[in-house]
Amino acid sequence: MRLFSTLLIGLSSGAIYSLMALALVLVWRSTRVVNFAQAGQAIASTYIGYLVISRTDNYWLALPVALVAGALIGALVDVALIRTLNKRVKSGPAAEMAPVIVTLGLLGLIRSTVGMIWGGDLKAYKAPVTNHGFTFGTTTIPFSPYNLLIVITTVIVMAVFSIIFQKTNLGLSLRAAAFQPEIARLAGVRVDLVRTIGWAFAGGAGAVAGVLVTPSNSLSPNSLDLLLVLGFVGAVIGGLESLLGAAIGGVVLGIGLAFILEYVSTSLAFPSAFIVLILVLLIKPSGILGKKGGRGA
Amino acid sequence: MGEVHKSRSIRLLVFIVIALAAFFLSNVVDELRVFQGASLSVYIVAIASIVLLTGYSGQISLGHGALMAIGGYSAVLAHNHWKVSIPISFAIAIVSTAFFGSILGWAAARLKGPYLAGTTLALAVGLPSLANQFSVLGGEQGLAFDVGAPPKSLGSDFTQYKWYFWICALAALIIVWITQNILTSRYGRQWRAMRSAPISASLSGIQIGRSKVLAFTISSGIAGLAGAMLVMTLNLVTPSAFPLSLSFAIVTGAVLAGVTNLGGGVIGALVLVAIPDIADLLAGKMGGAEKISANLPGFITSLILIVTVLLLPNGPKLSKLVSHKTK
């Protein structure tokens, strides 16, 4: 029972890591940038969701509002900042470092803007269903209806993404623009537009991750920092290139961490995630799903 | 050879002049400025570690705040448990952080750009909060760090802050002097070659991996010293002394001057020290709400970081450096 329950808890936290990993992978594939500002975009969207919750007390309205806000913010970041950056910084020693530093700066900018608007104090974010575990007979397991909701929502978001990517023309363009931008452009794909749509999808996925994770913790301008790191670890486990890999990587990390928390020690969650990150990067940098000779940079 | 000696003695002269100027300034300005002088020294040392690592060896680190935390905690533990003197506790901070950095550097040398950035960012987010989970590190309250009152021989009106400033300024001068010499040495040239043309560098006999690990180790040691200096000026060490924004600030200070120049790093450090004052001024004009004044410094730092990269991606000093190299 304990084993099964730990597995379920891991699945639920892993689902959220997957969404963040997915957001990072979407941007990485289209733009070759690991978007550290993703945590900032997600926190801004989550606060916008908080506005909705505090006015209407309706989580189910907050989730889509945050998703749309996240998508808009993502598109805005690409159009306003990343396009400018790519135009201005083409070569030189800064070309490799500039995107990292700019997204880092953007993370700081959004965090402090959010802090200026809403303050640094912790905000409660009410879950739509109870966070008390399911009860079977006399035993109550940690896995709660809210955890179930997280898993279901994530599965729906992932399903929508995979339908878009596999079955629609837009998905085909997205994949083509990521795979061979020049050839895609020759084939009539509007690469810049498609890339912005990719950023919007990523922003939406990050926003959903933020709104889903927040009721279990609480909301503050830096409450999603750890999620960014765990999403990055999940994305790296999956190879940083593959959307399926990101989904699997996040879940694998979530379940692994859940077992360490349950059976070893609660203080080891971060160190073990960090060690997993280093080990994957050293032993199999292309990720568990990666093809041989994965990308270096 | 003679020219090298000459430039070295001129540089030594400059350092002595700066030291004397700092000494006289510390006697005329008020307490707040003296304290800011100590912060300035901390930032100068921290930025020097980034200049060495990123500007020379070409490795990016967003996690130097975490390395500073290691240095800070090492210094405090050594001072409190073994009752060692300040210089010894600083030396222990340098050695222990350099040791940690050599392990991290071993992994880092195998990672490229965004992977290294992500890994070091993970460290900056997660490592300081680890201290909460070990009682020997004092948890959220942290550990007190009392280096004691200034020696009686300096006079009765010699304040505590002035004492901190003297210690920090001296440490910063020594470290910048040493770093400058490392950067102009064989190793500095190897790093520069490795950064701008890795393949040619390895063909001409530079061992890239070993060279990168060495840079990471030295840079970590310097960051560890900065951490020890920081906790001394704060009188205590807590996880919250090393927030993510500290790592951001150091990177900003280094990027401001193009990451390749120690002198520019001093200007970057000046900007970082000035930002809270500027933010206070602006926040006062905006109504002075707590949430504004608490977040405006971070806002300004991030804005400077973004604007600098967009406008001067290769830094103001780089063209000079390139022409110097081709001579």
* Domains of chain A by residue range: 2-164+200-283
Quick check: B326 pLDDT over 60? no
Of B251, B290, B299, the CB nearest to A104: B251
The answer to whether the CB of A219 falls within 8 A of the CB of A123 is yes
> Taking CA B125 as the corner, what is the angle to CA B119 and CA B129, rounded to the nearest 5 degrees?
130
Q: How far is B150 from chain A (nearest CA, A)?
A: 37
At B323, the pLDDT band (50, 70, 90 cuts) reads very low
- Contact assignment for A229 to B255 by CB distance below 8 Å: no
Q: How far is B139 from chain A (nearest CA, A)?
A: 12
Candidates A28, A103, A116, A227, partner chain B, best to mutate (most B CBs within 10 A): A116
The answer to whether the CB of B44 falls within 8 A of the CB of B269 is yes
CA distance between the termini of chain B = 17
CA B309, CA B315: separation in Å to the nearest integer? 8
Closest-CA residue to B232 (of B294, B172, B277) = B172
Q: How many CB atoms lie within 10 A of CB A37?
A: 29
- Contact assignment for A105 to B115 by CB distance below 8 Å: no
Q: Is any Cβ of chain B less than 8 angstroms from the Cβ of A164?
A: no
All residues at 6 or more sequence positions from B199 whose CB lies less than 8 Å from its CB, including other chains? none
Cβ-Cβ pairs closer than 8 A, A with B, add up to 159
Q: Encoding tokens for residue B233?
A: 């000026």
Amino acid in the structure at residue A198: G
DSSP result, chain A: -HHHHHHHHHHHHHHHHHHHHHHHHHHHHHHS---TTHHHHHHHHHHHHHHHHHHH--HHHHHHHHHHHHHHHHHHHIIIIIHHHHHH--SSTHHHHHHHHHHHHHHHHHHHHHHHHH-SS-B----SS--SPPEETTEE-S--HHHHHHHHHHHHHHHHHHHHHHHSHHHHHHHHHHH-HHHHHHTT--HHHHHHHHHHHHHHHHHHHHHHHGGGS-B-TTTTHHHHHHHHHHHHHTTSS-HHHHHHHHHHHHHHHHHIIIII-GGGHHHHHHHHHHHHHHH-TT-TTPPSS----
Of A88, A105, A285, the CB nearest to B302: A105
Q: Encoding tokens for residue A65?
A: 């509002």
Closest-CA residue to A257 (of A222, A226, A214) = A226
Q: Is any Cβ of chain B less than 8 angstroms from the Cβ of A272?
A: no
- Contact assignment for A111 to B318 by CB distance below 8 Å: no
CATH architecture for residues A2-164+200-283: Orthogonal Bundle (1.10)
- Contact assignment for B115 to A267 by CB distance below 8 Å: no
Of B125, B294, B313, the CB nearest to A98: B313
Q: Which residue has the tokens 């952080």?
A: B97
More confident of the two residues A75 and B14:
A75
CA B73, CA A156: separation in Å to the nearest integer? 46
For residue A77, the model assigns a pLDDT of: 94
Q: How many CB atoms lie within 10 A of CB A266?
A: 9
CA A89, CA B46: separation in Å to the nearest integer? 27
The answer to whether the CB of B143 falls within 8 A of the CB of B137 is yes
For residue A91, the model assigns a pLDDT of: 64
Burial (Cβ within 10 Å: 0-12, 13-18, ≥19) of residue A284: middle
Taking the CA atoms of B188, B190, B193 and B197 in sequence, report the sign of the dihedral they define: negative
Of A229, A266, A281, the CB nearest to B115: A281
Q: How far is B112 from chain A (nearest CA, A)?
A: 6
Q: Per-residue b/e over A170-191, b at no fewer than 16 CB within 10 Å?
A: eebbbbbbbeebeebeeeebeb
> Average of pLDDT values for B198-212?
85
Quick check: B316 pLDDT over 60? no
For residue B227, the model assigns a pLDDT of: 94
pLDDT digits (tens, 9 = 90+) for B260-286: 778 878 888 888 888 888 888 888 887
For residue B223, the model assigns a pLDDT of: 95
Q: How far is A16 from chain B (nearest CA, A)?
A: 17
| ipTM score assigned to the predicted complex | 0.86
Q: Which chain A residues are closer than 8 Å to B107 by Cβ?
A: 278, 281-282
For residue A3, the model assigns a pLDDT of: 85
Q: Is any Cβ of chain B less than 8 angstroms from the Cβ of A148?
A: no
Q: How far is A87 from chain B (nearest CA, A)?
A: 10
- Contact assignment for B298 to A111 by CB distance below 8 Å: yes
Candidates B310, B312, B325, partner chain A, best to mutate (most A CBs within 10 A): B310
3-state secondary structure chain B: CHHHHHHHHHHHHHHHHHHHHHHHHHHHCCHHHHHHHHHHHHHHHHHHHHHHHHHHCCCCCCCHHHHHHHHHHHHHHHHHHHCCCHHHHHHHHHHHHHHHHHHHHHHHCCCCHHHHHHHHHHHHHHHHHHHHHCHHHCHHHCEECCCCCCCHHHCCCCCHHHHHHHHHHHHHHHHHHHHHHHHCCHHHHHHHHHHHCHHHHHHCCCCHHHHHHHHHHHHHHHHHHHHHHHHHHHCEECHHHCCHHHHHHHHHHHHHCCCCCHHHHHHHHHHHHHHHHHHHHHHHHCCCCHHHHHHHHHHHHHHHHHHHHHHCCCCCCHHHHHHHHHC
For residue A290, the model assigns a pLDDT of: 61
Q: Which chain B residues are closer than 8 Å to A98 by Cβ?
A: 309, 313
For residue A233, the model assigns a pLDDT of: 93
Which chain A residue's Cα is nearest to B114? A34
Q: Encoding tokens for residue A290?
A: 């990666």
For residue A171, the model assigns a pLDDT of: 86
- Contact assignment for A102 to B309 by CB distance below 8 Å: yes
Q: Where are the domains of chain B?
A: 2-243
Q: Which chain A residues are closer than 8 Å to B127 by Cβ?
A: 270
Of B296, B303, B313, the CB nearest to A94: B313
- Contact assignment for A108 to B130 by CB distance below 8 Å: no
Q: What's the whole-number average pLDDT of chain B?
A: 83
Of B107, B114, B245, the CB nearest to A278: B107
Interface of A with B in 90-129 (CB under 8 A): 92-102, 104-109, 111-113, 115-120
Q: How many CB atoms lie within 10 A of CB A142?
A: 17
> Average of pLDDT values for B240-248?
87
From residue B273, alpha-carbon distances to A120, A274, B64, B251, B279 in Å are: 23, 32, 18, 14, 11
B259 torsion bin: left (phi>0), alpha (psi -120 to 50), beta (else): left
All residues at 6 or more sequence positions from B207 whose CB lies less than 8 Å from its CB, including other chains? none
For residue B1, the model assigns a pLDDT of: 45
Candidates B50, B103, B309, partner chain A, best to mutate (most A CBs within 10 A): B309
How confident is the prediction along chain A (297 residues), in pLDDT tens digits per residue? Answer: 788 888 999 999 999 999 999 999 999 888 888 899 999 999 999 999 999 988 888 888 999 999 999 999 999 999 999 888 888 776 665 667 888 889 999 999 999 999 999 888 888 888 888 878 888 777 788 888 889 999 999 999 999 988 988 888 888 888 888 888 888 888 888 888 999 999 999 999 999 999 999 988 888 888 888 899 999 999 999 888 888 889 999 999 999 999 988 888 777 778 888 888 888 888 877 777 665 444 433
Q: Is any Cβ of chain B less than 8 angstroms from the Cβ of A253?
A: no
CA B183, CA B52: separation in Å to the nearest integer? 7
CA distance between the termini of chain A = 43
CA A84, CA A99: separation in Å to the nearest integer? 11
For residue A234, the model assigns a pLDDT of: 92
Q: What percent of chain B has pLDDT over 70?
A: 93
- Contact assignment for A236 to B115 by CB distance below 8 Å: yes
pLDDT digits (tens, 9 = 90+) for B144-155: 887 777 777 777
3-state secondary structure B212-251: HHHHHHHHHHHHHHHHHHHHHHHCEECHHHCCHHHHHHHH
